[in-house]
Structure 1
Amino acid sequence: MQLLPTRQATLLALLSGLLWVFAWPGTGAMWPLGLVAFVPLMQIALWVQNGELSLREGVSKSIITWVIWNAGTLYFLAGIEQSWSTRLISYATPVLINTFLMSVCTALSWFVLKHWSRALGWILWPVLWLAMEWLQHHGSLAFPWLALGNAMAEHTQWVQWYSLTGVAGGTLWIWLVNFAFFFFMQTVITSSGNRRWLVAGLPVGLILLPMLVSQLIYRSFQLPKPWMSAVIIQPCLSLEDEKFNRDEQLSLLQKMLNDAAIAGKSDLVVLPETAIFDPGRMHGNENTLRFSGIWHHDTDNSELLHEARSWLKEHGSGTLISGAFTSRFFAKGEEAPVYAVPVPGLAGAKVLHFNSVVVLDSLQTTLRHKTMLVAGVEQIPLADVFPWMNQLALDLGGYAGSLGNEPPQTIRLSGGIEAAVMICYDSAFGWLSQEVVKNGAEALVVVTNDAWWGDTPGYKQLFSMARLRALETRRPLVRAANNGISAYINAKGEVEHQLPWNMKSVLRIDFAPMQMITMYVRYGDVIYRISAWLVPILLVLAVVRAKLGSRYI
């Protein structure tokens, strides 16, 4: 019995979604499946184009793909130690937003290919997708987790050309190969003789040529001899009763520093995200106001920073980098960001908290702050317009409410080396590391705490993205995570050393800062920007063709 196109479309949409789940890092990592994962959807698009399926039916079937893909790869978001309602919101929100954006790309391009221009409709689909990924890399709702180019993150040996294009090049490659396979399949179905087998060379060539180029780059690229040392601490602090317990902070820090001392003197010691938890506190009234904790205007009144400075002097290590929770005070009359909250008992005064890193050496203390904040946890979209929405923030780090942030900046290590520190979610954004390396960073440091998700694909996926940051910029990357994965990733995107998940340990590594500028660092996300410009151009051309006929375009 032959299935009707509607039933066939349902099965094809299911197949496409499952292919993407199994292709994705952490949930299968069989990335070659992504090279054909869009082919089933392209068949549905062809049925829509030919009138065998209505546009509404076709788009509704594609939504099955988007839901399965998003739900199947992001389920770790439901694993946070919170109430079931909070888990559901944390999980469902990105799934629904991603599904909506992917469906809009599909619906708009399929509308064009059905009603205005077949050729422009097929071209518009991947162009819209690339523009969508560019949008997902920016703004308060940024979520680039499922950018197609991330699919190869665990297999960097085959995508060494990301140093030329960034992740966007991987996304474009996946689309082109999928189109080539679809064209080959249609040729096999509609043609006879040798022609259909000659067409097979198109997808094969599109696969093999970039992989061959990657191998040539991989084998010719020489890593410099390491000459700097780093000690990475993976403390495995319990989120329930240790990490954000203020009474335990001094003893916890002393334990981490003792572990670093056992590893020996080094140029760099790295502690994970919020390893130093000493938020700013105020005592007294307006006339006798005293500060304790880590304040931007005064870092001398933090007991934890005093302990860290003393340890550095005693053990002679060069630079200590640690994640920290810091605060900035705004006196009455001083202009404050919209996310700053009033201070009880101090009329007009406000305070703003930050997810930060503190950089300590023998001369100074430097603070740097996270750039890309996690929506719903570290920043509530529209809370600047509706302040009451700050009450909706999840408490996943000792504080509930919108945090402050800053543009990416470099830091200076001992020996005059420039480095860039990325905090957790920052490492998911290629443009961020591209910008700091362009501004002089010679090494990348990532501090993170992925323990919220437990032993799920979440921490594995974020770790694999860090590999792409090292590859794109050709910089060594040192990563310290509370529960893992702490690691050293070389400038080829290879993991040279790593600690197992959820094992308290110390990792000592050697690395060499690098100064070369890749094409990606020099020009950034050119492919994304071109796609964003092409979208309105293609839509205008499609409208003109629909109104004036094919003779004019």
Structure 2
Amino acid sequence: MPAPGLLTVLAQWVMLSAGWRRLVLAYGAGALGALAMPPFGALPALVVALCAAVWLLDGATTGRGEWRTLRTAGLIGWAWGFGYLTAGLWWLGSAFLVEADEFAWALPLGVIGLPAVLGLFYGVGFALARLIWSPGAGRIFALAFGLSTSEWLRGHLFTGFPWNTLGMALGQNLWLMQTAAGIGLYGLTLLAVLVAAAPATLATGGTGAARLGPSLAAGLVLAATALSGAARLPAGPDATVAGIRLRLVQPNLNQDAKFRPENREDILDRYIELSDRAAAPDRSGLADVTHVIWPESAFPFLIQRDPAALARIAAALPPGKQLITGAARADTAAEGERPHFFNSILTLAAGPKLGDAYDKVHLVPFGEYLPGILDATLRALHVRQFVSIPGGFTPGDRARQRILSVPGLPAIAATICYEAIFPGAIVPETNPNEPPPVPGLILNLTNDAWFGDTPGPRQHFAQARLRAVEEGLPLVRDANTGISAVVDAHGRITASLPLGVEGVLDADLPVRLEQRTVYARFGDAPFWLLLGLTLALAVAARRGSA
């Protein structure tokens, strides 16, 4: 009998690990897998991480019954997910240091506590995979089913947090991301797990086709996905909408100064000066632009209640120009009641005249509000959300969520901050009695200054960019500190400003796709069909091995 190869020896060592050593291996494998996410994009890191996951699950059997085996698999999955999320989300700690005197004590809760809790989803995924586990290639389908299901759950339960979903390993590459137009982010996740976990059989897949077949199939699938994506891309740039010239203003304001009321005049001066700044030597002021865009939460005051500030802005806008800006706004409260505050997008024209508005629907827990079940307790302990608004922000009415209407622009699918990371939630659901107009672009206003020069803002942009491909709509993204960009409906960046610079970006608006994408029409339905097929293949393999 020939001596086992080095890869086989390594796989056996991983499978035979137990106790704390097994959990450390799982944690380390997950942490390595985070390198496949933006901005690194190291897909081989996910291959190593998921092959290790397969071998760890191979060794999860305890010999003491199915329940104990599932519990062991779940613990391995939790450790793997804990490592993956700790390595991928460590930059969240930056937000706790913006107002360190108030929030530094909670830094471990964000950097360690949140990944530890979210790691439970991966524990569920690993347990589901182990429930339908089998020898050979069948277990690759089992892992893909379990992890894809758990990633979908992570993106939807308890308000959802689909940040760095595994499918982003493919969703950041221009050719590979084109598949999202059909199957969305969660379909990419299923594909990514199948492709990245397949080489595990090189060490434990028997001989001949059983050993090489899954890896060869994975390579062919990945190549076919890339080639079909390349074929989908037009040879030239997308056409642009006639008569529209956008100016995106990136002020690069530090977060620790952004919301101080004493800075209000300086901040307003900065926005007005930047808005009138030429973006190229052959252009002057606002003469060549039709719409000016400012980022999320532009002001440390309620601009809607400040006639002097509104007048200054309107005076800086030539006739016919429109301003789109992020801003906090408050509704009119009844006597004796506290007003509700909203994180909003407001529109303004010369006059001054406020136009249409959008209120953020999907708020950030602990960042913009305290979850209801914890609100009273945390306030009694004098703990508040990061954004210092009395009582926190109120979400917009999801049932009445509207397309933003701005003169001179197509209908806008508006998003604020991390609303852009939720696939399938960009365009409001159609009301049969009052169908909204089909949007012509996605607008994302955000403020990533909380996270400094870390992977966080780059990950945020990559995820927003994928929404353009899924929906077949151009993306216009204006960020306080960057990355500000215009992206066409195929995910190609047509103009951008890098992270951490002050500047303005003048750009034309690319057209939307003539035909709605499969994902825009059917949402996650193709993903569920593929997930069902994956489950059927995993179950058939398990029965065949019984």
Calculate the TM-score normalised by the size of structure 2: 0.81
Aligned position for 2:482: 484
Cα deviation, residue 521, structure 1: 0.8
Question: Partners in 2 of 1:488 and 1:271 — Cα distance?
Answer: 14
Q: Does structure 2 conserve the Cα–Cα contact (< 8 Å) formed by 1:434 and 1:520?
A: no
Question: Partners in 2 of 1:325 and 1:310 — Cα distance?
Answer: 21
Aligned position for 1:355: 343
186, 194, 216: which one aligns with 2:204: 186
Q: Does structure 1 conserve the Cα–Cα contact (< 8 Å) formed by 2:259 and 2:299?
A: no
Amino acid at match of 1:513: V
SS at match of 1:415: coil
Aligned position for 1:24: 37
Matching of residue 104 in structure 1 with residue 124 in structure 2: yes
Is the alpha carbon distance of 1:210 and 1:404 closer, same or farther for their aligned partners in structure 2, counting shifts above 3 Å?
same
Question: Which moves more between the two structures, 418-427 or 85-94?
Answer: 85-94
Amino acid at match of 2:90: Y
SS at match of 1:444: strand
Question: Which moves more between the two structures, 460-469 or 139-148?
Answer: 139-148
SS at match of 1:90: helix
* Aligned residue runs from structure 1 range 90-489, under 5 A: 90-111=110-131, 113=133, 125-138=143-156, 140-187=158-205, 190-192=206-208, 196-197=211-212, 200-219=215-234, 223-227=238-242, 228-241=244-257, 243-263=258-278, 264-265=286-287, 266-279=289-302, 294=304, 302-312=307-317, 315-316=318-319, 318-331=321-334, 346=336, 349-361=337-349, 364-383=354-373, 387-390=376-379, 394-399=384-389, 401-406=391-396, 407=398, 408-415=401-408, 417-435=410-428, 439-489=437-487
Is the alpha carbon distance of 1:191 and 1:140 closer, same or farther for their aligned partners in structure 2, counting shifts above 3 Å?
closer
Is the alpha carbon distance of 1:479 and 1:224 closer, same or farther for their aligned partners in structure 2, counting shifts above 3 Å?
same
Cα deviation, residue 205, structure 1: 1.5
Question: Partners in 2 of 1:256 and 1:32 — Cα distance?
Answer: 43
Gap regions ≥5 residues in structure 2? 1-8, 279-285, 431-435
RMSD: 3.5
Q: Does structure 1 conserve the Cα–Cα contact (< 8 Å) formed by 2:411 and 2:437?
A: no
Q: Deviations over 1:520-553 (max 9, x none)?
A: 1111122455589999x99xx99xx9xxx979x9
Cα deviation, residue 30, structure 1: 1.0
Question: Partners in 1 of 2:104 and 2:494 — Cα distance?
Answer: 39
Q: Does structure 2 conserve the Cα–Cα contact (< 8 Å) formed by 1:428 and 1:462?
A: yes
Aligned position for 2:46: 34
Q: Does structure 2 conserve the Cα–Cα contact (< 8 Å) formed by 1:378 and 1:401?
A: no
Q: Does structure 1 conserve the Cα–Cα contact (< 8 Å) formed by 2:187 and 2:530?
A: no
Q: Deviations over 1:485-523 (max 9, x none)?
A: 112222221222222322211111112332531111111
Question: Partners in 2 of 1:273 and 1:199 — Cα distance?
Answer: 47
Q: Deviations over 1:24-61 (max 9, x none)?
A: 113x3213432453111111222235959972555434
Is the alpha carbon distance of 1:89 and 1:302 closer, same or farther for their aligned partners in structure 2, counting shifts above 3 Å?
farther
Question: Which moves more between the two structures, 397-406 or 516-525?
Answer: 397-406
Q: Does structure 2 conserve the Cα–Cα contact (< 8 Å) formed by 1:326 and 1:354?
A: yes
Is the alpha carbon distance of 1:185 and 1:60 closer, same or farther for their aligned partners in structure 2, counting shifts above 3 Å?
same
Cα deviation, residue 75, structure 1: 0.4
Question: Partners in 2 of 1:198 and 1:77 — Cα distance?
Answer: 41
Aligned position for 1:337: none
Aligned position for 2:86: 71
Q: Does structure 2 conserve the Cα–Cα contact (< 8 Å) formed by 1:393 and 1:402?
A: no
Q: Does structure 2 conserve the Cα–Cα contact (< 8 Å) formed by 1:318 and 1:414?
A: no
Is the alpha carbon distance of 1:330 and 1:45 closer, same or farther for their aligned partners in structure 2, counting shifts above 3 Å?
same
Question: Partners in 2 of 1:405 and 1:534 — Cα distance?
Answer: 38
Aligned position for 1:521: 520
Question: Partners in 1 of 2:27 and 2:385 — Cα distance?
Answer: 36
SS at match of 1:475: coil
Cα deviation, residue 181, structure 1: 2.6
Q: Does structure 2 conserve the Cα–Cα contact (< 8 Å) formed by 1:127 and 1:534?
A: no
SS at match of 2:424: helix
Q: Does structure 2 conserve the Cα–Cα contact (< 8 Å) formed by 1:136 and 1:143?
A: yes
Question: Partners in 1 of 2:52 and 2:79 — Cα distance?
Answer: 12
Question: Which moves more between the two structures, 451-460 or 507-516?
Answer: 507-516
Question: Partners in 1 of 2:38 and 2:384 — Cα distance?
Answer: 27
Amino acid at match of 1:454: G
Is the alpha carbon distance of 1:308 and 1:199 closer, same or farther for their aligned partners in structure 2, counting shifts above 3 Å?
closer
Aligned position for 2:281: none
Amino acid at match of 1:273: E
Gap regions ≥5 residues in structure 1? 280-292, 333-345
Aligned residues between the structures: 501
Aligned position for 1:336: none
Identity %: 23
Question: Partners in 2 of 1:76 and 1:36 — Cα distance?
Answer: 23
SS at match of 2:444: strand
Cα deviation, residue 393, structure 1: 5.5
Cα deviation, residue 211, structure 1: 1.3
Question: Partners in 1 of 2:388 and 2:275 — Cα distance?
Answer: 25
Aligned position for 2:498: 500
SS at match of 1:16: helix
Q: Does structure 2 conserve the Cα–Cα contact (< 8 Å) formed by 1:233 and 1:480?
A: yes
